[in-house]
A and B are shown apart, each in its own frame.
Chain A
Amino acid sequence: EAGVTQFPSHSVIEKGQTVTLRCDPISGHDNLYWYRRVMGKEIKFLLHFVKESKQDESGMPNNRFLAERTGGTYSTLKVQPAELEDSGVYFCASSPRVSSSPLHFGNGTRLTVT
Chain B
Amino acid sequence: SQKIEQNSEALNIQEGKTATLTCNYTNYSPAYLQWYRQDPGRGPVFLLLIRENEKEKRKERLKVTFDTTLKQSLFHITASQPADSATYLCALDLSGTYKYIFGTGTRLKVLA
Query: Which residue of chain B lies nearest to A110 when distances are taken between CB atoms in the complex?
Result: B41
Number of interface residues of B (CB under 8 A): 26
By a CB distance below 8 angstroms, the chain B residues around A75 are none
Query: Which residue of chain B lies nearest to A93 when distances are taken between CB atoms in the complex?
Result: B43
Bound together, the chains give a CA A30 to CA B82 distance in angstroms of 36
Interface residues of chain A: helix, strand, loop or mixed (majority): strand
By a CB distance below 8 angstroms, the chain B residues around A44 are 102
A99–B43 contact, CB under 8 A?
A: no
Q: Is A51 an interface residue (CB 8 A)?
A: no
B93–A99 contact, CB under 8 A?
A: yes
Bound together, the chains give a CA A103 to CA B44 distance in angstroms of 9
Task: Map CB proximity to B onto A80-114 as digits: 1 under 8 Å, 0 otherwise.
Answer: 00000000000101000001101111111000000
Q: Is B101 an interface residue (CB 8 A)?
A: yes
Q: Chain A's nearest CB lies how many Å from the CB of B63? A: 17
A56–B97 contact, CB under 8 A?
A: yes
By a CB distance below 8 angstroms, the chain B residues around A70 are none
Number of interface residues of A (CB under 8 A): 24
Residues of chain B at the chain A interface (Cβ within 8 Å): 4, 31-32, 34, 36, 41-46, 49, 51, 89, 91, 93, 96-105
Q: 30 interchain pairs (CB within 8 A)?
A: A4-B43, A33-B100, A42-B103, A43-B44, A43-B102, A44-B102, A45-B99, A48-B99, A56-B97, A56-B98, A56-B99, A91-B44, A99-B32, A99-B98, A100-B31, A100-B49, A100-B93, A102-B34, A102-B49, A103-B34, A103-B91, A104-B46, A105-B36, A105-B43, A105-B44, A106-B43, A107-B42, A107-B43, A108-B42, A108-B43
Residues of chain A at the chain B interface (Cβ within 8 Å): 4, 31, 33, 35, 41-45, 48, 50, 55-56, 91, 93, 99-100, 102-108
